[in-house]
Structure 1
Amino acid sequence: MYRLTGLLLGVAMAFPITAHSQETIELTVASSHPLAIPWVGMIKSHFMAETDRILAEKGNYKIAWNEAFGGSLYKANATLTSVQEGVTDIGWVFSFLEGAKLPLSQASTYTPFATANPPVQLQVTWDLLDSNEAFKKEWEQYNLRVLGLTGTDSYDIYTKKPIKGLSDLNGMKLSAPGVLGSWLRGTGANAVDGSLPTFYTDIQTGVSDGVLSLALGVLPAKLYEVAPYITRVRIGTAFSGAIAINGDSWDGLPEEVQQAMIQAGKFYTDAHGKDLLERHEAAFAKMVELGAGQNPPVTISELPAGDRQKWVDNLPDIAGEWAAEAEARGLPSKAFLKAYMDGLRAKGEKPARDWDKAL
């Protein structure tokens, strides 16, 4: 007995057992929008959770997430600078509101009626981020490393009063985020700048008569309560931003953690695209259900096909104007626009207007 114990003790002394040590890394993740907004909620349920899952497989690292969602650190007008300056390590950068700093990122926002397929739109954008140096530099020059992409489901009109045709938009004030206000040009409606966190109050207080927005944002924001008339226009989807990490924070991470985040970012983007596509129609049904008892109740109508085509045709060449302005700043915007439109067509999309043909 004692002899065996002594033998084991000797072995233990000769070959000491090294305890496995797991390193905990503290990171702040933030957003100007609340978790109730689907693509923000998926930062936690998909990007963060998948990063945790991948790291747990080896057990070398664990992230202690400091969550600051819902505008607790910064508002929608400071998403880029807050990540750039390290106010947060990781955050959702709302590219719609950063037209001056992220000009190439606006290509999809100046090409309405081009696609209503979020997974395709996001994949084309990823391909460009991988292959186009100017696009990649556009983000990296602000000390940002893109981890995942966000897009929109298709845009429609939500108003206080019913819309029977395109002419009813004339003179109306419609809230729209950033550059998306340009989609209203030629309709007679006036764009009021804003974002999902401000839309409800803007409509309620008369700042606007309704919104140009997307079903998966309108539903959790409950905009149907103040804008119960939904007019389906199917204007299309757009690239809206990215989950990005501060460059200094990124450089300080172990390679294993970086690789986990890269994989989690792709996982998030794919899941987000599918979610946009699958839940878009269901969101309309849910709004009708939830708004059935209010006065007036939520009602949905289609903009007549002829009026929709008139909207497409009456839009000025907003893509050409954007490209020309960006070219004047030394950016390869015309080539980028063509690459974006070619990417959509290569994946089977049939834009209602070929915005690159007039270049």
Structure 2
Amino acid sequence: MKTIICGAMLATAVAAMPATAQETINLTVAASHPLVVPWVGMIKSHFMAKTDEILAGTGNYKIEWNEAFGGTLYKANATLTSVEEGITDVGWVFSFLEQAKLPLSQASSNAPFATSNPPVLLEVMGELLETNEAFREEWEQHNLKVVGLTATDLYDIYTKQPLSGIDDIDGMKISAPGVLGNWLRGTGANAVDGALTTYYTDVQTGISDGVLTLALGALPIKIYEVAPFINRFDGGSAFSGAVAVNRDTWDGLPEEVQNAMIEAGKYYTVAHGQDLVERHEAALNKMVELGANQNPPVQIVEMPEGETLKWVNKLPDIAEDWAAPLEARGIPAHEFLSAYLDGLRARGEVPARNWDE
């Protein structure tokens, strides 16, 4: 009887004990671009939401997100340093504008038109991040933990007047982000360095005559209002950056939170790649719809058969121009370029030009 009574008393005491308190973790998440840009919006709708969902499963931790999207903390030219220095805990790093600090990350941009399949490109880059020490170290040396990857949909040239082919851009000023200005070499066009946040004003004020950009970026910034002719080349996809966590912040997070973010980052990357495929065509059609009543109305100008290949063949050997100086600095650019292209080929992709040969 005594044992039964003691057992009952113990059970009552345990039941009366408070449950383990949930720990709230405050994190700032930021981007230079606004939420209407799809891959930025998906940081909130996919990466953050998935992290929250996973953590809610145990109830041990809850993240209080302090959101600073749309350049409220920093602009496009400071995405890497802002995460590196802890200005934000989590942020999208725009690798196009970080050629000096993230040289290997420019491989796909310097081997253009290698694939028009963003999910495959992201899969290859994710594999390289895990298996290629030089690539991983390139990011980690900047006090970063990469949790998700981003790519682009397909590139077209948006202009004030329609093009009949790639030869027409000879002498034009075309806005392009950082390294993608190399895609204009050999065409006679002059590259104007810029980003989605500057394109509209650049064209509107005459700084440039048009823009080399992607549909999912062009739609939310309404570039079609000032450059209504979408000259469709269906240029290839490229690696554009990563969702990264400041390493000091990362090291201070509980393992359960780290694991949740890793899983959420993989979910974000896969969802983002598929989103690029599904929304590209829809974005083009939406711009035509929205610009139907402006003067001139928005038009998709289909390029003649072979114009994209003609464009590719106009380019000098930009892959070698990129790789050679890196090799001189001891950075294995040739090896990385081959690994990237071999990864694509192994998955059935056929690059328009074999940049590693």
TM-score (norm 1): 0.96
Counterpart-to-counterpart distance in 1, 2:248 and 2:305? 51
What do the CA deviations read for 1:44-69 (whole angstroms, capped 9, x no partner)? 00000000000000000000000000
Specify every segment of 5 or more residues in structure 2 that has no aligned partner in the other structure, as ranges: 1-6
Residue 35 of structure 1 pairs with residue 39 of structure 2: no
Q: Give the equivalent residue in structure 2 for 1:59.
A: 59
Deviation sequence 1:84-121 (CA, Å, 0-9, x none): 00000000000000000000000000011110100000
Q: Which amino acid is the alignment partner of residue 293 of structure 1?
A: N
Q: Count residues in correspondence.
A: 353
| Contact 1:151/1:241 (8 A) holds in 2 | yes
AA partner of residue 305 (structure 1): E
Q: Which residue of 2 aligns with 1:3?
A: none
Aligned residue in 1 for 2:3: none
What residue is the counterpart of 1:229 in the other structure?
229
The change in CA–CA distance for 1:323 and 1:14 in structure 2 (over 3 A counts) is closer
Deviation per CA, 1:114-170: give whole Å up to 9, x if none: 101000000000000000000000000000000100000011100011101222101
3-state SS of the aligned residue for 2:350? coil
Is 1:113–1:234's contact at 8 Å kept on the other side of the alignment?
Answer: no
Task: Please state how far the C-alpha of 1:15 moved relative to its aligned partner.
Answer: 6.8
1:288 paired to 2:288 = yes
Query: In the alignment, what sits opposite 1:49?
Result: 49
Q: 2:4 maps to which residue?
A: none
CA distance in 2, matches of 1:182, 1:347: 26
What percentage of aligned pairs have identical amino acids? 70
Q: Which residue in the other structure is 1:253 paired with?
A: 253
Q: Deviation at 1:307?
A: 2.9
Q: Is the 8 A contact 2:233 2:307 kept in 1?
A: no
Output the CA distance in 2 between the equivalents of 1:49 and 1:261.
10
Task: For 2:350, give the aligned amino acid.
Answer: K
Question: Tell me, what secondary structure is at the counterpart of 2:109?
Answer: helix
Who is 1:148 aligned against?
148
Deviation at 1:304, TM superposition (A): 1.7
Deviation for aligned residue 1:10: 7.5
The structural deviation recorded for 1:306 is 3.3
SS of 2:67 mapped into structure 1: strand
- Separation of aligned partners in 2, 1:90 and 1:18: 33
Tell me if the contact between 1:96 and 1:178 (Cα under 8 Å) persists in the aligned partners: yes
CA contact (8 A) 1:157 1:233 kept: yes
1:21-46 C-alpha deviation (Å, 9 max, x unpaired):
10000000000000000000000000
Distance in 1 (CA, whole Å) between partners of 2:234 and 2:187 is 15
Gaps of 5+ in 1: 1-6
Q: How far apart, CA to CA, are the structure 1 residues paired with 2:309 and 2:161?
A: 22
Which residue pairs with 2:20 in the alignment?
A: 20
- Alignment of 1:88 onto 2:88: yes
User: 2-side partners of 1:234 and 1:261: how far apart?
Assistant: 34
Determine the structure 2 residue equivalent to 1:331.
331
Contact 1:148 1:268 in 2 (8 A): yes
Whole-Å separation in 2 of the counterparts to 1:15 and 1:169: 76
Provide the secondary structure at the position in 2 that maps to 1:109.
Answer: coil
Q: Shift of the alpha carbon at 1:13?
A: 4.3
Correspondences of 1:55-134 after superposition (within 5 Å): 55-134=55-134
Q: Distance in 2 between matches of 1:95 and 1:74?
A: 15
In the TM superposition, what whole-angstrom CA distance separates every residue of 1:202-245 from its partner, at most 9, and x where no partner exists?
00000001100000000011000000001111110000000000
Given residue 120 of structure 1, which amino acid in structure 2 is its aligned partner?
Answer: V
| Cα distance, 1:325 vs structure 2 | 1.1
1:4 maps to which residue? none
Could you tell which deviates more after superposition, 10-19 or 156-165? Answer: 10-19
User: Using the alignment, how far apart are the partners of 2:15 and 2:160 within structure 1?
Assistant: 77
CA distance in 2, matches of 1:312, 1:193: 20
Look up the match of 1:272: 272
Matched, 1:177 2:193: no
Matched residue, 1:310: 310
The CA distance in 1 between the partners of 2:60 and 2:33, in whole Å, is: 32
Aligned AA for 1:153? Answer: D
Q: Which amino acid aligns with 2:103?
A: P
Residue of structure 2 in register with 1:319 after alignment: 319
Amino acid at match of 2:293: G
Query: What amino acid does structure 2 have at the position aligned with 1:127?
Result: E
Q: What do the CA deviations read for 1:166-204 (whole angstroms, capped 9, x no partner)?
A: 221011000000000000111111100000011000000
Cα separation, 2, equivalents of 1:78 and 1:13: 55
Give the TM-score of the pair, scaled to structure 2: 0.96
C-alpha distance in 1, partners of 2:192/2:115? 24
- 1:311 Cα deviation from its structure 2 partner: 1.3
